[in-house]
Every structure is written in C-alpha cells, then in structure tokens.
C-alpha cells in the first residue's frame, strides 16, 4: 500500500507541475484577406524574392488568428510564451490538466503537443536520451575584390572563397540573418565600423527579452557575426563583407529550455518576412535543463523537433539555412542537434587550419540515415574579432564559427546580380537544389562521405563554375528580346531580333505565383494587360527550349 501511495503522490506532483506545450490550431479564418493583401504579412523585398523563386504564397505565410491567440492568452491558468505562424502553433506553459482541458473549451484547437513526450496521448514515444546531462554550458565552449585577409587568410582560402571575392562576389545585394545569443559591442567596435558606416546592419530583434536591444546578452553572436562581416584593414576580412544583416537573439544563455526552439522559429519567420536570403544559426538543441524535454537520437530525423519542422518550412519559403553541426564529437552524445538534422539545412562541421577534422565536431548521420554534416570549414582556432577588446583572436573553437564562415560564402555564391533570375514556372528546387548540389559536389570527400566529415571541404571556385553552368540550363536568354513600355498601363510590345513570333509564347504570373495570362503562337507583338490590377508581375517569354523572365510592373 505504501508503494501505491508513493506512486500516486509522485503522479500528482507530475500532473500539477508547470509544463511546456504547443497548441496547434485548426485553421486561419482570415487567410483569404491576408493572401489578397500580401504586404500586410510580408515586405516588398520578401515578395520580390518569392516572385524570383516562383514560390506561391499560402496559408503558412498567414499570421495566427488574433482572436484565437487572445482567447488562449486570456486563460487564467495559462501563460503564453511564443507563437509560430508557420506551424500555426502557440507555445504555452501551465499545469498538465489545465492544458489538456483547453481542447474541450476551444473548438479551434486541432491538437496539443507536450514538450515532455510521455504526456502526449498519441504520437511519438521515445526512450530516454543517450545523456540526460545538460550540454548548455558547453554549447558555446572554447575546445572569431582584392582583400588582404590577414589572419583570416587560411579560413577563406581553404574554401577558395578568395576566388568568389575576386569575381566581385562579396555578398552585395544579399541579406543575412544571424540568429544567436547576443551581439554586445557590435555597435561600438572598430572592426564593425565598416558595416555600420555603410548601413549594412538593417536592424533586428531580441526575442529573448522581447525588446529591440540587440547589442546585449551573450557575446557569442558578436564572434559569429565577425566571421562574416568583421573588417580590419590588412588584418582581417569576413567571408561576406558587403552583405547586409539582421541580428536576432533567440538563445537565452542563462538556461536551456525548449522555449528557445520556438523563439528561433519566430526569428526565422521574421527573417523571411523581411526578405532575408541566408540565415546562419550557430545553435543546436539536444538536451535541456528539464531532462523530460530532452531529445533522443531518434528525434534527429528532421521532422520531430519543433525547431527542425520550422526550419523545413523556412527552406520551403526560399531561405538558405546554414547551421552549426555541434560540438559533441567527443561526448557520449556525439551526434548533431536540431535544427542541423533538418533535410534542407546546410549543416557545417569543423576542421583545423591543416584541414584535419576537429575531434569535437559532431557526427552524423541523422536517425533516418541521411548524410550530416554535409560540409566542413575551419572551426578549430579560426580568426575572429574579440567582443571585448576588438582585437583579432584565434583562441576560440567550435562549429559555431565554421558555420558563419560557410554562410558568408553561401551568400556570395547566391549573390543576386550574378546570375539570371530563375524563371517563373520553375520550382524552388531548381534554385536551392543547384546551389547546394554545386557546393556539395565540389567537396573533397564527395564520393566517399563519412559520418563526421560528410562530403568534406568544399571548393567554391569549382562550385561557382558548376552553379553557373546549372543555371544556364535553367534559363537561356532570348537574344534581342525587348519589352516596352515597362511599367505598362494598358498594353506592352514584345520585340525580338527575329520578327517571327509564331513559335513564341508568353505567361504572366502574379505575386502569389498564379498564372494570370498565357498566350501561345503569338500573332501580334502587342499584348493587352488592361484587365490586370496594379502591381508587380513576372512575364515569361518562351521559344522552344529558350525562355527569359522579366519583372513587369502594371500601373
């Protein structure tokens, strides 16, 4: 009887404890209104990026219904901590019974998912983690044109990043979001004066404290940013010195909680809405202060953790996501964390200056057998900018730094004005797939990948040539093609060197990716678009295996 009473007592304590959970909502009642007014949820730059990539807007882009959100927030025994429009979910905290009762109170709730999987009535049940000891305090451990790269010479030239820079690919036109733990002194250090003077810091947000103080909290983000954007003349250059940046804080360094995964998704959503091209994340999640929330290796399948689900949706919006593999190679848990396990994330491991694998670099594969990390760069003692002194330091190590070194070069390769636009009608895979494929295939172990090496160290000179070749297949420019007037009010004229338009066709797509006009075997050079609403469209002109896309503005 004593054992039974003890069991009941422990069970009661578990039920009454404060728990984290996500409420997943059934729908978005105002979906149509938002989709008809896209600027209410995405910036013009974000919409232009979607048009370029032919990504249609859908319900995932629509914010969570405010009425639903307010009803949950007004529940007296529930604390609302965060939310995600991509997953249509609200992150809450409360007692287990109070959380479970929400489904009977609100019919707009689809299901509830507890961070402690043993509390879920259905779904995935896992064994205990390989290690239940928090790895929080060693997450950031130390085990930061014609350029004189100085101390950064090795980490850039190892990847042939200097070749990209020589081609004028220095990140201009690209926007990179850094999602990290804090950026103290970025607003004062001389090593960041170049990007401050050139207005390359576009803003950011501190999700951890719910304020705009981004130059605060842990210095990890400052070191990470320096690998991409730091500049000391003749002494140090980051990998994408001409890119622009948003700085987001999602990591709460003092603790390790499941909330940080949701804050990361919020930050990624904000980055997408602002038109960001590349996200670097030098964070990863496996174990938490509450061991019941910790992940298992089985969870590293790219579709289980909240953060990895969010990362996959982010990639489907056209974002290029670069993530540190993790520093657990020497630990009992030796594997990558989340969201590095997500299929569409470019996961980066670490080598030293001599291109030898860093022993701390986390292992793959994912639980479902995919190669991770995919690629490597210098993460053992790379050159960085010290956040306190502003001096160059080589005393820090971690995949936290191999990731931004790589992210900067990914942005350079992705530079907007370097290649023809992807045609409307092409899929996102034809863009991101070819970029990633070019990088992976250029790596030194591509034909013999290993669990800790992945495909190895990429060669961005080879990747550039391969990427250019792949994009030339995607879109062949039609010689002599002119479209005027543009902007157009009622009609525009198509002019080509060959006056015969019989073999030509046109398609026009709106900002949502919907085809609004198609004409085949053109008989006339004059195209009537008086019926179209004012706005930005994509015109696709086709001739057999050749086609060209043009941004068309309807006045």
Residues identified as active-site? 180, 220, 400
DSSP 3-state assignment of 13?
helix
Residue identified by tokens 């810091």 is 201
Handedness of CA 129, 132, 137, 142 (dihedral sign): negative
The closest alpha carbon to 206, from 245, 263, 274, belongs to 263
Strand 320-324 versus strand 346-351 pairing type: parallel
Taking the alpha carbons at both ends of the chain, their separation in whole angstroms is 81
Three-state SS letters, 157-202: HCCCHHHHHHCCCCCCCCEEEEEECECCCCCCCHHHHHHHHCCCEE
Q: CA 305 to CA 92: how far, in whole Å?
A: 16
Residue 246 pairs with which residues in a beta bridge? 177, 203
Task: Tell me how far apart the alpha carbons of residues 501 and 506 are, in angstroms, rounded to a whole number.
Answer: 11
3-class DSSP assignment, residue 440: helix
CB 37: neighbour CB atoms within 10 A? 9
- Greatest distance between any 2 Cα atoms in the chain: 95
d(CA 475, CA 396): 44
> How far apart are the C-alpha atoms of 328 and 364, rounded to whole Å?
11
Joined together, the tokens standing for residue 243 give 């890119």
CA dist 20 and 43 (Å) reads 32
């Amino acid at each position: 009887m004593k054992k039974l009473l003890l069991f009941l007592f422990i069970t009661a304590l578990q039920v009454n404890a404060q728990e984290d959970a996500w409420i997943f909502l059934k729908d978005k009642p105002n979906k149509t209104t938002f989709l008809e007014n896209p600027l209410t949820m995405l910036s013009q730059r974000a919409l232009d990026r979607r048009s370029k990539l032919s990504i249609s807007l859908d319900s995932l882009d629509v914010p969570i219904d405010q009425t639903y959100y307010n009803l949950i927030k007004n529940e007296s025994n529930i604390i609302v901590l965060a939310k995600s429009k991509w997953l249509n979910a609200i992150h809450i905290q409360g007692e287990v019974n109070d959380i479970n009762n929400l489904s009977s109170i609100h019919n707009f709730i689809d299901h509830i998912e507890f961070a402690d999987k043993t509390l879920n009535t259905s779904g995935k049940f896992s064994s205990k983690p390989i290690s239940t000891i928090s790895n929080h305090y060693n997450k950031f451990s130390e085990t930061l044109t014609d350029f004189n790269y100085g101390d950064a010479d090795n980490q850039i030239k190892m990847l042939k990043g200097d070749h990209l820079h020589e081609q004028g690919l220095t990140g201009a036109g690209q926007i990179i979001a850094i999602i990290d733990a804090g950026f103290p002194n970025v607003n004062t250090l001389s090593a960041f004066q170049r990007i401050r003077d050139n207005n390359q810091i576009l803003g950011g947000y501190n999700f951890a404290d719910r304020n705009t103080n981004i130059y605060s909290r842990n210095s990890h983000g400052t070191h990470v940013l320096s690998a991409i954007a730091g500049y000391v003349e003749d002494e140090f250059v980051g990998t994408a010195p001409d890119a622009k940046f948003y700085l987001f804080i999602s990591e709460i360094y003092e603790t390790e909680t499941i909330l940080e995964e949701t804050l990361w998704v919020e930050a990624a959503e904000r980055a997408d809405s602002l038109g960001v091209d590349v996200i670097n994340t030098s964070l990863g999640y496996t174990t938490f202060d509450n061991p019941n929330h910790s992940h298992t290796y089985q969870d590293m399948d790219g579709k289980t953790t909240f953060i990895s689900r969010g990362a996959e949706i982010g990639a489907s919006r056209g974002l290029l996501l670069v993530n540190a593999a993790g520093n657990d190679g020497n630990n009992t848990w030796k594997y990558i964390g989340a969201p590095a396990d997500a299929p569409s994330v470019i996961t980066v491991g670490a080598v030293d200056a001599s291109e030898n694998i860093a022993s701390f670099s986390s292992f793959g594969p994912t639980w479902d057998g995919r190669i991770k990390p995919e690629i490597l760069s210098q993460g053992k003692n790379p050159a960085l900018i010290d956040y306190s002194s502003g001096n160059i330091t080589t005393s820090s190590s971690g995949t936290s730094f191999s990731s931004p070194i790589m992210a900067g070069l990914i942005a350079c390769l992705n530079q907007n004005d370097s290649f023809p636009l992807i045609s409307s009608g092409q899929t996102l895979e034809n863009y991101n797939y070819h970029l990633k494929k070019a990088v992976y295939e250029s790596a030194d172990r591509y034909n013999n990948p290993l669990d800790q090496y992945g495909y190895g160290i990429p060669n961005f000179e080879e990747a550039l040539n391969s990427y250019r070749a792949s994009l030339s297949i995607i879109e062949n420019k039609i010689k002599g093609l002119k479209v005027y007037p543009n902007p157009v009010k009622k009609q525009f004229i198509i002019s080509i060197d060959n006056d015969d338009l019989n073999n030509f066709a046109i398609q026009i797509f709106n900002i949502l990716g919907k085809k609004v006009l198609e004409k085949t075997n053109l008989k006339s050079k004059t195209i009537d678009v008086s019926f179209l609403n004012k706005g930005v469209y994509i015109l696709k002109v086709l001739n057999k295996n050749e086609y060209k896309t043009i941004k068309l503005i309807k006045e």
